[in-house]
Amino acid sequence: MSAISLKSHNTLRLDSSCLRLFAPLDTDELVSFYRKLDNPIILGNGSNVILASKIMNDVIVTGGLDAINIDSPTVYAQGGVKTISLSQKALNEELSGFEFLIGIPGSLGGAVLMNASAHNQSISDFLIFCDAYDKEKDEIVRIEKRDCGFSYRSSIFKKNDKYIILGACFELKKSEKGLMLEMMNENIAFRKEKQPKLSLPNAGSIFKNPENDSAGRLLDECGMKGETVGGAKVWEGHANFIVNTGSANSTDISQLMFKMYNSVREKFGIELESEVLFVGEKNDIEREIWDIMLRNK
């Protein structure tokens, strides 16, 4: 059986692969696939993740779960909906709350899992409930916002991998299209100035900001801009981004992250916490690195 490339399924454009790839078109099909397979990997738009270089067995991509239903001011979107599309759809309906998503190239499922935020908005601000498949109970459950455990770049879905996010419901606020468009344009301009272009393969911010500080500032102070390992490079424009120069793999990314992590720990005594997730089976080098970086996290 020849391996299937996952290069187009992750924003770092790592040339990872799997033996079988499944693309369900609705939630019932996703759950059906999951039940038939042996612990498959669930992958959204592939931002905020590092895909393992080791060949994976079964991968389910959620891009087909892309329905958006609006009964103003309520919006229900499936987990595979691209966040940029969701932002544009809300704009068309003059519903405010998703303006920040215009600069985040992920899926709704990933945004909820990570409690994505930017420009004083977060995905949890207007969330009412999430629908998820509970792997342990083998059933679809509805989880109210109060039970989602949202915090900075985290949620119950990140802390407990027994859930697969199928969709989420939000109550947004009516607004004027012009005001919303102005905010979205400001967000896009900020991204262009402070973050790599979407065409430059990256996974978004690598480390979370420590309380009352900036991971980018700390890494910059450590002289990490331009640092490389293999095909992975710390972006010269902002020290909290790693870009794939063309041949990077998960070990390159992990080793470069470890250099960044150690530089801040040694200079400032601060242990940065990864914002990106490692997906798949780690090799021995990666396992040692991530065991240290995830210690006490």
Q: What CATH number did the domain enclosing 98 receive?
A: 3.30.465.10
Domain assignment present for 78: yes
Coil, helix or strand for 201? coil
Query: For position 288, what pLDDT does the model report?
Result: 97
Domain assignment present for 288: yes
Inter-axis angle of helices 284-293 and 250-268, nearest 10 = 30
Q: Model pTM?
A: 0.93
Residue 296 has pLDDT above 70, yes or no: no
Q: What CATH number did the domain enclosing 226 receive?
A: 3.90.78.10
190 — pLDDT class (breaks 50, 70, 90): confident
Active-site residue among 17, 87, 96, 153?
Answer: 153
DSSP code at position 146:
G
Shared domain check, 160 and 84: yes
Buried-exposed string 85-100: b where 16+ CB fall within 10 A, e elsewhere: bbbebbbebbbbbbbb
State which of 173, 190, 207 marks the end of a domain. 190
Percent of the chain with pLDDT strictly greater than 70 = 99
Rounded Cα gap, residues 30 and 24, in angstroms? 5
Assess whether 5 carries a catalytic annotation.
no
Domain assignment present for 118: yes
Domain assignment present for 7: no
Shared domain check, 79 and 149: yes
Pairing of strands 41-43, 56-61: parallel
Active-site residue among 53, 96, 124, 275?
Answer: 275
State which of 190, 206, 229 marks the end of a domain. 190
Domain assignment present for 104: yes
Assess whether 35 carries a catalytic annotation.
no
Active-site residue among 16, 17, 205, 263?
Answer: 205
Number of domains in the chain: 2
Torsions phi, psi for 124 (to 5 deg): -85, -10
Domain assignment present for 36: no
Assess whether 142 carries a catalytic annotation.
no
Rounded Cα gap, residues 180 and 165, in angstroms? 28
Show the domain range for 98: 68-190
Shared domain check, 176 and 230: no
Three-class secondary structure assignment of 113-138: HHCCEECCEECCCCEEEEEEEECCCC
Query: For position 297, what pLDDT does the model report?
Result: 63
Cβ partners under 8 Å of residue 45, min gap 6? 11, 63, 82, 83, 105, 106, 107, 110
Domain assignment present for 51: no
